[in-house]
Chain A
Amino acid sequence: MKKRIVSKWLYPVAIASLVMLSACGGGQQAQPSGGEQPAATGAESKEPIKVGAIFSLTGPNSPLGVPEKQAVELLVKEINGAGGVDGRPLEVVFEDDKSDNTEAVKAIKKLVSKEKVVAMLGSSGTGPSLGMAEFAAAEKLPLISMAAADQITNPVRAGIFKTPHTDVHGTKRVFKYLKEKGITKIAMLNDSNPYGSGWTTQLKKYAPEYGITVVAEEKYGTKDPSMSSQLTKIKGTDAQVLIVAGTNPGPATIVKEAKQLNLGIPIISSHGSANSKFLELVGDAGEGVLMVAGKLLVPDQIDANDPQAAIIKKFSEGYKAAYNELPDGFAGYGYDGLNLLVEGLKQAGGDASKLGEVLEKVKYVGVTGEFTFSADDHNGLTEDSMIMVEVKDGKFQILK
């Protein structure tokens, strides 16, 4: 009899204690990870400047968010080692949005109300970034996003900036290359997620300007295991080149299947797939694939006279030393984001309330490109900071 009572009460009690346990954690503040120790330069006596950073550390966007966080952590250490910003140490409080819009909005509210951050970085994906931007714009909190979509900074909102190349830059750079080569008929096969559909819109919009016609417009689902039916359709058209926009593994699958189907036309893949993971996934089938990307993809092939050469070299060497791998474009977006914020803070004399205005005048040479922010351009990049590369012998080779 006694035993039965025990078992009857065990589960409610167990669950209740679980809840209690989790409620007990309530007193704990979010731990700032990385670089919160003030440097031994007398900066510790001053109050730190608190910046929030929300990245997608888990979920489908984690291949973007993890390198972004690593780059930011590295930079925080470096900045504090050099005496901080205006003599005050920099403190970055990280949150994970799990690649989810609601979580991102909750996280930014938490950072603002609990941590009293003065500026924000993030997030990795478009949806979470847009949600955060909505809140940040209402709160007049400066935010620099690492997501690709054009609509984050178009239309321009006070205090909202972003670092990556947009689909507009990628489209223009690819079309410039096609014009040089005299190619006029293109097919496209893009992911149906926000990134891919952004590319579809821009490719269609700018094609007439460069005298290009779109002869086939296909798309695929992010998790589709095979795109051979779309490729067969494209093979039946007179397209001279296939443009693919998506994040891995989709583009890699397309490249492999195109080889099996003997598609016979060159493939140009977007900057969303331009990283070492792509090379790993395509293997031999990748030979001859063209990509449009930022210069950071080939740090050792950048011309020494390039204004970006110095910072790319410094960042890629520092990153390699810390994490034993070369940084990809996403790490670069995070690195540039924090650098821009710090540059803005320095120019504003550490006064965060002026940051939004000051950032509009900032000029800064980053690893992604040369940023020239203005009142009506909160991305500040041009398509000229992107390069075309070819996959040769399992490596990226810059096309001159």
Chain B
Amino acid sequence: MKQLLEKWGKGIGIYLALMIVFPFVMPDEYYRSVGIIIGLHAIVTIGLCLLMGLAGQISLGQAAFWGLGAYTSAVLTTKYGLSPFVGLVASAIVPGLFAFLLGRAIAGLQGYYLAMATLAFGYIVQIGITEWEPVTGGASGMISIPQVPFFGDSELSMYYLIWAIVTCVLVFSLNLMHSRVGRAFRAIHKSEIAATSMGVDVRKFKLNAFVVSGMFAGISGGLYAHYMGILDPQPFGLHESIKFLTMVVIGGMTSIWGALIGTVLIGFISEGLILLSEVIPGLQGDVDTIVFGGILVLIVMFMPEGLVPRIRSAYEKAQAKKAKETAAKTQSGERVERKAAT
């Protein structure tokens, strides 16, 4: 724990404080449910960040893993009467398996081809869920999925359950980043050839990244299914995948914190837009898609590294400048003193 604090001291402290306090600052059930949805998205985007930012692999099919997780847990609990906790464990394993198979098949692909392959995978899963009617309920979906019994089933307890999982995922990912695996990922991101020549098993690491991100998305999907109580295949398409992508890119691909902050930011902006639409009647419907698109364009044009790395580097620069100035001041001060002495 002490080590943890030393490593990312302030960051994790601020995060924990904000996370715990939020539902009491906003003592409104509605904002708790907003917090829950943001948390669910954050689990997916942190996984996606590991895949995209660290290992440098694009995925346009992340919502498919999300959907696989959701349906796995929903089917096991509603049709076979298993406990939601068993369902949640399965909702990590099944998408992980799919990610493994997909990763094995397409690990050799790069750039556009990888994007196309993951895009196709996303479509296949969504169509598969729609067509496999005896199990998934087809286009009309499933109803009466049980809640997760975590200290009752109030909005508040669900909030803490989900953010506890976000915290686990976050700590796991931050740890991973500072380990040999994380360094190997970053090496792959910079140049696969260079990484291979340094003895990194590129294929294996890429596969690992796929599996981990698929599992995170699956867990989040399982929680989403239990939280909503109903499922249909509509939310698990390309639109959602791109939304996840936007969150990661805005926050900054190369930073785990970036993914988290990007997700929170997008969540707040869409809530803000809903509130604004009550004041400005013209601002209704899909305005958020336009706003997110606009933000994405601005970010890619002016801050391709994303929000968090940019702010961090600006902060570091400012610190360095300050240090320099104080150093210069003390130096000149010394000189004056010396002059006075002589």
| With A102-B228, A194-B138, A194-B139 already in contact, 17 other A-B pairs whose C-beta atoms are closer than 8 Å | A11-B303, A15-B265, A19-B268, A21-B272, A22-B275, A25-B276, A57-B285, A59-B285, A101-B230, A101-B232, A109-B33, A127-B234, A134-B230, A151-B140, A193-B139, A194-B141, A198-B140
Q: Is B278 an interface residue (CB 8 A)?
A: yes
Return A107 CB to nearest CB of chain B, in Å.
9
- Segment of B76-84, B198-206, B306-314, B323-331 in the binding face: B306-314
Return B20 CB to nearest CB of chain A, in Å.
20
Return A203 CB to nearest CB of chain B, in Å.
15
Q: Is B298 an interface residue (CB 8 A)?
A: yes
Q: Is A131 an interface residue (CB 8 A)?
A: yes
Given contacts A12-B310, A15-B307, A149-B140, contact A28 B29 (CB under 8 A): no
Chain B residues near A105 (CB, 8 Å)?
33, 228
Task: Say whether B228 contacts A131, CB under 8 Å.
Answer: yes
Task: Say whether B230 contacts A25, CB under 8 Å.
Answer: no
Given contacts A101-B228, A106-B37, contact A96 B284 (CB under 8 A): yes
The closest CB in chain B to the CB of A20 belongs to B272
| Whole-angstrom CA separation of A59 from B234 in the bound complex | 13
Q: Is B286 an interface residue (CB 8 A)?
A: yes
Task: Say whether A12 contacts B278, CB under 8 Å.
Answer: no
Given contacts A22-B275, A57-B285, contact A113 B29 (CB under 8 A): yes
| Whole-angstrom CA separation of A177 from B275 in the bound complex | 50
Task: Say whether B230 contacts A58, CB under 8 Å.
Answer: no
Task: Say whether A106 contacts B272, CB under 8 Å.
Answer: no
Return A290 CB to nearest CB of chain B, in Å.
25
Chain A residues near B229 (CB, 8 Å)?
131, 134-135, 138
> Can you show 25 pairs from A to B with CB atoms below 8 A apart?
A12-B310, A12-B314, A19-B272, A21-B272, A22-B268, A22-B273, A22-B275, A25-B278, A28-B279, A58-B285, A59-B286, A62-B285, A98-B285, A102-B235, A106-B34, A110-B33, A113-B29, A113-B30, A126-B140, A126-B232, A130-B141, A133-B143, A134-B228, A134-B229, A197-B138
Task: Say whether B302 contacts A194, CB under 8 Å.
Answer: no
The closest CB in chain A to the CB of B291 belongs to A18
Q: Is B28 an interface residue (CB 8 A)?
A: yes
Given contacts A102-B37, A109-B30, contact A194 B140 (CB under 8 A): yes
| Per-residue contact bits, chain A 91-116, to B (CB 8 Å; 1 contact, 0 not) | 00000101011100110011011100
Interface size classification for chain A: 35 or more
Near A by CB (< 8 A), chain B positions 4-34 give 28-30, 33-34
| Whole-angstrom CA separation of A19 from B235 in the bound complex | 26
Task: Say whether A130 contacts B37, CB under 8 Å.
Answer: no
Q: Is B269 an interface residue (CB 8 A)?
A: yes
Residue of B37, B234, B275 touching A28 (CB-CB under 8 A): B275
| Inter-chain CB contacts under 8 Å: number | 119
| Whole-angstrom CA separation of A112 from B230 in the bound complex | 19
Task: Say whether B275 contacts A197, CB under 8 Å.
Answer: no
Chain B residues near A18 (CB, 8 Å)?
269, 272
| Whole-angstrom CA separation of A62 from B284 in the bound complex | 12
The closest CB in chain A to the CB of B288 belongs to A98
Task: Say whether A194 contacts B232, CB under 8 Å.
Answer: yes
The closest CB in chain A to the CB of B275 belongs to A25
Chain B residues near A29 (CB, 8 Å)?
278
| Per-residue contact bits, chain A 190-208, to B (CB 8 Å; 1 contact, 0 not) | 0011101110000000000
Interface size classification for chain B: 35 or more
Measuring CB to CB, which residues of chain A are less than 8 angstroms from any residue of chain B? 8-9, 11-12, 15, 18-19, 21-23, 25-26, 28-31, 57-59, 62, 96, 98, 100-102, 105-106, 109-110, 112-114, 126-127, 130-131, 133-135, 138, 149, 151, 192-194, 196-198
Chain B residues near A130 (CB, 8 Å)?
141, 143, 230, 232
Q: Is B157 an interface residue (CB 8 A)?
A: no
Chain B residues near A100 (CB, 8 Å)?
234-235
The closest CB in chain B to the CB of A25 belongs to B275
Chain B residues near A131 (CB, 8 Å)?
228-230
Q: Give the dominant DSSP class at B's interface.
A: helix
| Whole-angstrom CA separation of A395 from B147 in the bound complex | 50
Return A97 CB to nearest CB of chain B, in Å.
11
Residue of B138, B144, B155, B295 touching A134 (CB-CB under 8 A): B144
Task: Say whether A22 contacts B139, CB under 8 Å.
Answer: no
Task: Say whether B265 contacts A19, CB under 8 Å.
Answer: yes
| Whole-angstrom CA separation of A322 from B255 in the bound complex | 55
Task: Say whether A31 contacts B278, CB under 8 Å.
Answer: yes
| Per-residue contact bits, chain B 156-199, to A (CB 8 Å; 1 contact, 0 not) | 00000000000000000000000000000000000000000000
| Whole-angstrom CA separation of A223 from B28 in the bound complex | 39
| Whole-angstrom CA separation of A101 from B269 in the bound complex | 19
Return B296 CB to nearest CB of chain A, in Å.
12
Task: Say whether B284 contacts A58, CB under 8 Å.
Answer: yes
Chain A residues near B334 (CB, 8 Å)?
none
Given contacts A101-B230, A101-B235, A151-B143, contact A106 B284 (CB under 8 A): no
The closest CB in chain A to the CB of B317 belongs to A8
Chain B residues near A23 (CB, 8 Å)?
268, 272
Q: Is B316 an interface residue (CB 8 A)?
A: no
| Whole-angstrom CA separation of A21 from B272 in the bound complex | 8
Chain B residues near A25 (CB, 8 Å)?
272, 275-276, 278-279
Chain B residues near A198 (CB, 8 Å)?
140
The closest CB in chain B to the CB of A62 belongs to B285
Chain B residues near A12 (CB, 8 Å)?
307, 310-311, 314
Chain A residues near B29 (CB, 8 Å)?
109, 112-113
Return B227 CB to nearest CB of chain A, in Å.
9
Task: Say whether B275 contacts A26, CB under 8 Å.
Answer: yes
10 closest pairs, A vs B, by CB? A22-B272, A58-B285, A113-B29, A25-B275, A134-B229, A110-B30, A194-B140, A127-B232, A194-B139, A197-B139
Near A by CB (< 8 A), chain B positions 65-114 give none
Residue of A9, A58, A101, A134 touching B286 (CB-CB under 8 A): A58
| Whole-angstrom CA separation of A138 from B147 in the bound complex | 11
Chain A residues near B232 (CB, 8 Å)?
101, 126-127, 130, 194
| Whole-angstrom CA separation of A62 from B285 in the bound complex | 10
Chain B residues near A113 (CB, 8 Å)?
28-30
| Whole-angstrom CA separation of A21 from B278 in the bound complex | 14
Chain B residues near A138 (CB, 8 Å)?
229
| Whole-angstrom CA separation of A98 from B295 in the bound complex | 21
Chain B residues near A196 (CB, 8 Å)?
139
| Whole-angstrom CA separation of A287 from B232 in the bound complex | 36
The closest CB in chain B to the CB of A129 belongs to B230
| Whole-angstrom CA separation of A106 from B144 in the bound complex | 17
Chain A residues near B271 (CB, 8 Å)?
22
